[in-house]
């Protein structure tokens, strides 16, 4: 794990005063005695790392939710240091076939898409899931998305326009992420329609995976290759002055910050893309601040619980989804009092971690169920799948609520 930025992250260790705030906020440490907490496996254990011998392997139970870094009052990059140490541990132990597979959403996506009815049948077929658990250690109850057939990319080929330096303001680039491409093209379409309703032209360039699941599963070299390729695809648009808008909060955060701070990617393509990258709710609230957001919303008479996922909090932009929903007449959104749903991307899929993930999310699920609402709202895909499966009701992206309010479908 030797890159110059790694040293910068490690230097932040010197600011740790062992105050324990990260330990008391860590959702995993609260759920299981198997994880002793971010300070223990990070600022404390880091001094034992780097040689031939190894520090405590309980680090492997860190879910990489990033809450520790957000709550640290001293600016210690705890989550980043622990992610890097986890990758080192994974390399030392050898990366399992399971972790190679679940870290490549495009692989499963492309395998399932052409045969989507069969693929969907198998992943909901009990005996197959049992086999998957025995052979690959993917938990039989872990939430799995359903393939949507045609990918979002192939549905939107006509929008693969070139950058337009003459009118960058009116045109935004939409970064949809793998989940929308294979499983939730409907959410992506709603996002496009909401942006268009607000007078923006939407360009959807060819785009690949950001590499975040690879990073979470300790495969940094592959993750760097993925994110560099994606940054190269988006950079010409950023250079032409187009803003890039994302519905996937975790992939957006990867491009904003994590690829740089965790993977140590330090190139111009990534830099220009970072500066132009916006989460869609952040972007719409920014339009509103400028007086450019359409306020022609129809009443949506509903009560909805909203969960701000860990990765959304990592953007450091507050909770723009709540601000947007507050603009919709009749819509009563309330933020759930919980930090994490437990799934943390691929963590909760793993047989040995599924129960921990469910315990992490328990209070969140209880609150959603107790609300009696017909659906819940959350920005991140894997969190939505986890919450929907655990609460027996759909979980939707906030942009879907705006789509309803605008009367777009």
Partner 1 sequence: MRRAVVIGAGLAGLVAGVRLAEGGMRVTMVAKGVGSLTLSPGVIDVLGYAPGRVDSPREALGAFVAERPDHPYARIGADALEEALAWFTDRVPQMRYRGDGPRNLLLPTAVGVPRPTALAPASMAGADLRGGGRFVVVGLSGLKDFFPRLLADNLARADLPSGAMVGARHAEITASPRPGRADVAGQVYARALDDPAFRGEFAAALRGLAEPGETILLPAVLGMARAGEVFDELQERVGAPIAEVPTVPPSVAGMRLNTELTGAFARAGGRVVLGVEAVGATGSDGRISEVLVRDAARTRALPADAVVLATGGFSAGGIALDSYGGLHEVVLDLPVAGPPAGVAPLSERHLDHQPLMASGVAVDGMLRPVGPGGEPVWDNLHAAGTIVAGAEPWREKSGEGIAIAGGFRAAGAILEET
Which residue in 8, 14, 24, 329 binds partner 1 (CB under 8 A)? 24
Q: Whole-angstrom Cα distance, residue 378 to residue 376?
A: 7
One symbol per residue from 55 to 94: x for binding partner 1 (CB under 8 A), - otherwise; what is it?
A: --------------xxxxxxx-------------------
Stretch that binds partner 1, among 109-117, 120-128, 139-147, 312-320 (CB under 8 A): 312-320
When asked if residue 20 is in the footprint of partner 1 (CB under 8 A), the reply is yes
When asked if residue 44 is in the footprint of partner 1 (CB under 8 A), the reply is no
When asked if residue 225 is in the footprint of partner 1 (CB under 8 A), the reply is no
Element (H, E) at 406: none
One symbol per residue from 90 to 119: x for binding partner 1 (CB under 8 A), - otherwise; what is it?
A: ------------------------------
When asked if residue 314 is in the footprint of partner 1 (CB under 8 A), the reply is yes
- Could you tell me if 105 and 182 are in contact, meaning their C-beta atoms sit under 8 angstroms apart? yes
Stretch that binds partner 1, among 90-98, 138-146, 231-239, 308-316 (CB under 8 A): 308-316
Of 221 and 275, which CB lies nearer to partner 1 in the complex structure?
A: 275
- Could you tell me if 33 and 305 are in contact, meaning their C-beta atoms sit under 8 angstroms apart? no
When asked if residue 21 is in the footprint of partner 1 (CB under 8 A), the reply is yes
Which residue in 289, 292, 303, 352 binds partner 1 (CB under 8 A)? 289
Stretch that binds partner 1, among 144-152, 212-220, 270-278, 391-399 (CB under 8 A): 270-278
Query: DSSP letters along 135-190, please?
Result: HH-B-TTS------SS-HHHHTGGG-PPP-TTSTTTEEEEE-HHHHHHT-HHHHHH
State in angstroms the smallest separation of the CB of 185 from partner 1: 26
Task: Measure Cα distances from 369 to 143, 155, 162, 270, 399 in Å.
Answer: 17, 35, 46, 41, 22
Helix residue ranges per DSSP H, 12-125: 21-25, 27-31, 38-39, 67-71, 78-93, 97-102, 105-112, 116-123
Task: Measure Cα distances from 15 to 12, 183, 296 in Å.
Answer: 6, 43, 49
State in angstroms the smallest separation of the CB of 278 from partner 1: 8
Of 79 and 119, which CB lies nearer to partner 1 in the complex structure?
A: 79
Q: Which of residues 323-382 bind partner 1 (CB under 8 A)?
A: 335
Which residue in 274, 346, 380, 391 binds partner 1 (CB under 8 A)? 274
The sign of the dihedral angle between the CA atoms of 103, 105, 107, 108 is positive
Q: Whole-angstrom Cα distance, residue 108 to residue 72?
A: 37
Of 27 and 185, which CB lies nearer to partner 1 in the complex structure?
A: 27
3-class DSSP state for residue 395?
Answer: strand
Which residue in 7, 8, 11, 19 binds partner 1 (CB under 8 A)? 19
- Could you tell me if 362 and 401 are in contact, meaning their C-beta atoms sit under 8 angstroms apart? no
Contacts of 361-364 spanning 24+ positions with Cβ under 8 A: 361/386, 361/387, 361/390, 362/31, 363/337, 363/338, 364/307, 364/336, 364/338, 364/340
Stretch that binds partner 1, among 114-122, 181-189, 269-277, 381-389 (CB under 8 A): 269-277
Q: Whole-angstrom Cα distance, residue 358 to residue 366?
A: 11
State in angstroms the smallest separation of the CB of 179 from partner 1: 20
When asked if residue 316 is in the footprint of partner 1 (CB under 8 A), the reply is yes
Angle 89-217-52 (CA atoms, 0-180°, nearest 5)? 10
The sign of the dihedral angle between the CA atoms of 241, 286, 258, 187 is negative
Q: Whole-angstrom Cα distance, residue 207 to residue 356?
A: 34
When asked if residue 241 is in the footprint of partner 1 (CB under 8 A), the reply is no
State in angstroms the smallest separation of the CB of 108 from partner 1: 28
Q: Which of residues 242-261 bind partner 1 (CB under 8 A)?
A: 253, 256-257
State in angstroms the smallest separation of the CB of 12 from partner 1: 12
When asked if residue 23 is in the footprint of partner 1 (CB under 8 A), the reply is yes
Q: Which residues bind partner 1 (CB under 8 A)?
A: 19-21, 23-25, 30, 33, 37, 69-75, 253, 256-257, 274-275, 277-278, 289, 313-319, 322, 335
């Amino acid at each position: 794990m030797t890159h110059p930025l790694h040293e910068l992250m490690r230097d932040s260790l010197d600011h740790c005063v062992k105050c324990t705030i990260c330990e008391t906020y860590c959702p995993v440490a609260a759920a299981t005695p198997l994880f002793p907490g971010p300070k223990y496996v990070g600022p404390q254990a880091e001094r034992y790392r780097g040689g031939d011998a190894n520090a405590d392997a309980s680090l492997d139970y860190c879910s990489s939710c990033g809450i520790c870094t957000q709550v640290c009052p001293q600016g210690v990059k705890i989550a980043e240091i622990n992610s890097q140490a986890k990758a080192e541990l994974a390399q030392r132990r050898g990366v399992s076939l399971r972790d190679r597979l679940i870290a490549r959403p495009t692989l499963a996506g492309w395998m399932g898409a052409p045969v989507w009815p069969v693929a969907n049948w198998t992943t909901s077929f009990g005996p197959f899931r049992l086999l998957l658990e025995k052979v690959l250690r993917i938990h039989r109850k872990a939430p799995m998305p359903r393939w949507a057939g045609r990918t979002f990319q192939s549905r939107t080929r006509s929008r693969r326009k070139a950058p337009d330096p003459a009118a960058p303001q009116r045109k935004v680039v939409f970064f949809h992420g793998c989940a929308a491409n294979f499983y939730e093209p409907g959410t992506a379409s709603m996002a496009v329609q909401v942006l268009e309703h607000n007078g923006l032209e939407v360009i959807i360039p060819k785009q690949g995976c950001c590499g975040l699941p690879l990073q979470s599963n300790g495969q940094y070299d592959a993750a760097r290759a993925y994110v560099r390729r994606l940054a190269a695809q988006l950079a010409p648009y950023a250079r032409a002055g187009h803003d890039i808008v994302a519905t996937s909060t975790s992939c957006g955060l990867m491009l904003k910050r994590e690829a740089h701070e965790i993977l140590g990617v330090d190139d111009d393509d990534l830099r220009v893309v970072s500066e132009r990258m916006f989460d869609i709710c952040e972007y719409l609230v920014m339009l509103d601040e400028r007086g450019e957001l359409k306020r022609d919303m129809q009443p949506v008479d509903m009560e909805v619980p909203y969960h701000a996922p860990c990765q959304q909090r990592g953007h450091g932009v507050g909770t723009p989804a709540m601000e947007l929903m507050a603009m919709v007449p009749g819509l009563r959104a309330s933020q759930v009092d919980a930090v994490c749903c437990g799934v943390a991307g691929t963590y909760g899929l793993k047989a040995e971690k599924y129960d921990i993930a469910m315990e992490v999310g328990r209070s969140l699920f209880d609150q959603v169920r107790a609300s009696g609402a017909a659906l819940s709202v959350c920005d991140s895909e894997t969190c939505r799948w986890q919450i929907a499966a655990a609460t027996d009701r759909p979980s939707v992206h906030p942009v879907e609520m705006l789509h309803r309010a605008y009367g777009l479908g």
